[in-house]
Structure 1
């Protein structure tokens, strides 16, 4: 790279009256951590005429590798025709545009490039250059892909659980039913409650503020075949922070599903105790305890608990399962500051 900052921009950008200004501007570009290159549309195949050191750091190419060449040397097998079309349209429109494109480093490693391109005009309004700034967003896109996959797995798991839970609910409700109309009404209420509980907690909309006692009551009464007689809630009243809503909701869904299929909610005498406290104002401690159910058999595989554990760990919390013979005990802790309400 040239040692003089005033020389790192093409000479046509400099003049006697703006030399000092351009030198300051050139210095800022040269030392910017954002990769930047400039191409000359007046030359055949619009070659690169300048790129800052950050461009070399990002791509792995030295200046002698790309000066005088078109930017297409960054393309590779997974570069899509759609992204190239967007670039051509942006260059022809004389406007600034952002395009995500798969590019390749000199090493052959691919990366997702958030490419911003736009025109540079002279004082008479004539197009003299195009600029392009590059940013590697591969990590961000991979995180989005992983979260999308996790959400898909979560939804599929819940759908399977709904079918299993309703099978048990129908069986248990039918044991004490003596009136067909009453039985049908009870089943319809259970289906409606279960559906509302799931729809309320898997919506893509911004979740409304829910207190833990409201959330727990909505979810557990939807699962408990005999309603309130099988559920006991005890804890402080506080709002569940939005960033922990998914982890807590999915945990309660999973525990309730397991209780209906294998635990205390499978029998009429079974009870679930859900307690929580915030004695430590920076930590939520929640305990799920089952009583009066069938003998507990620890599961042979993680299934849904693996998804929940991942969410809890991502939130900085801990989750343990203790398979007592008399009933499952699960303990959750989350590092949050709760806001108590009157």
Structure 2
């Protein structure tokens, strides 16, 4: 490649004086041909002017060669440029140090871009400072992604706080209504469902901004209160993530299974245990949860299948295009819950 991108004043300037002939040519070619936006400033001239800006620099800023060369780099700054970033740049120049700083710059047309500026000194073979080198990288998209991610996290925290308050208020209303109407047991049953939903959401809201949530965290949150001694629940699953909207259905379904086990199943008997396994189906299109009870008393399946909890589970799953298959073994209930992996 011929060195035809640098301005005449730079080609005929002092690179040959500052570097040996061969190294000077290679240096000039590297500066000119790289796709990274690059400029060189003369630290020995008044106001440290730009003496070279390659094609990528001109394309990034929108300025022509004649509008760049001879000016200090500060002409890219504007009203919103952070002065702390400018101070870091100034200090690096004074101390001949290397610095990487993100600074808001302005193009010729007035539009802004976030510039990841890599600034550093260049020395000749004698160790003498000859240039300051600046490479520019437009990181506006990266900054926007960071801002969106931070905003999403802040919104998730606020949502978590509001939902906790909402569950607390609803729970309080249910308790008061139950006492006034003399239906405390019914109110307690409703509150148990409300609390199960709250536990499912509480551990997952911080992940909601990503659009998917590790289902295992919700399962553990819903079921852990039923295993106070840590001996009656065995959880086995992988890192399956599901859409945020799936949490409410899975949380309530597991709560109903747990409540049923506490009243009639394995957890109603001394030494009874529940194993819960989850993972994706072989085709990857469904979440499959196995609920396996052992050590429970013999029960009448018809009595349970006609109960309110069973109706709630069936209704929830049908609404979300899921299903449940119950098998009553001598040792307890084995239920297989299937739910579409992409359900919304």
Three-state SS of the structure 2 residue aligned to 1:43 is coil
Three-state SS of the structure 2 residue aligned to 1:73 is helix
Question: 2-side partners of 1:62 and 1:6: how far apart?
Answer: 11
Question: 1-side partners of 2:14 and 2:85: how far apart?
Answer: 31
- 1:333 aligns with 342
Shift of 1:98: 0.8
Cα 1:71/1:166, change in 2 over 3 Å: same
Instruction: Tell me if structure 2 keeps the 8 A contact 1:96–1:119.
Output: yes
Instruction: Tell me if structure 1 keeps the 8 A contact 2:39–2:57.
Output: yes
Shift of 1:41: 1.8
Question: 2-side partners of 1:12 and 1:121: how far apart?
Answer: 13
- 2:124 aligns with 122
- 1:34 aligns with 36
From the CA coordinates, give the structure whose radius of gyration is larger: 2
Q: Which runs of 5+ in 2 are unaligned?
A: 208-212, 228-234, 261-275, 290-308, 322-337
- 2:92 aligns with 90
Question: 1-side partners of 2:277 and 2:248: how far apart?
Answer: 14
- 1:277 aligns with 280
Normalising by structure 2, report the TM-score: 0.61
Asked if 1:292 corresponds to 2:293, the answer is no
Question: 1-side partners of 2:19 and 2:138: how far apart?
Answer: 37
- 1:112 aligns with 114
Shift of 1:87: 1.0
Deviations 1:118-149 (A, max 9, x none): 11223333322211110000001101111111
Question: 1-side partners of 2:104 and 2:35: how far apart?
Answer: 20
- 1:3 aligns with 4
- 1:240 aligns with 239
Question: 2-side partners of 1:211 and 1:146: how far apart?
Answer: 21
Question: 2-side partners of 1:91 and 1:10: how far apart?
Answer: 26
Three-state SS of the structure 2 residue aligned to 1:36 is strand
- 2:330 aligns with none
Matches within 5 A, 1:190-339: 194=199, 198=202, 202=206, 214-221=216-223, 238-240=237-239, 244=241, 250-251=244-245, 253-255=247-249, 277-280=280-283, 283-286=284-287, 292-293=311-312, 322=319, 331-333=340-342
- 2:83 aligns with 81
Shift of 1:74: 0.8
Instruction: Tell me if structure 2 keeps the 8 A contact 1:286–1:333.
Output: no
Cα 1:158/1:291, change in 2 over 3 Å: farther
Question: 2-side partners of 1:17 and 1:148: how far apart?
Answer: 47
Cα 1:13/1:61, change in 2 over 3 Å: same
Question: 1-side partners of 2:250 and 2:16: how far apart?
Answer: 71
Question: 2-side partners of 1:119 and 1:86: how far apart?
Answer: 15
Shift of 1:60: 0.8
Question: 1-side partners of 2:318 and 2:150: how far apart?
Answer: 27
Shift of 1:158: 2.0
Question: 2-side partners of 1:41 and 1:17: how far apart?
Answer: 16
Asked if 1:24 corresponds to 2:23, the answer is no
Three-state SS of the structure 2 residue aligned to 1:116 is strand
Three-state SS of the structure 2 residue aligned to 1:26 is helix
RMSD: 4.8
Question: 2-side partners of 1:216 and 1:103: how far apart?
Answer: 45
Cα 1:10/1:291, change in 2 over 3 Å: farther
* Aligned length in residues: 268
Question: 2-side partners of 1:321 and 1:63: how far apart?
Answer: 67
Shift of 1:23: 1.5
Q: Which runs of 5+ in 1 are unaligned?
A: 178-182, 204-209, 229-235, 298-319, 335-342
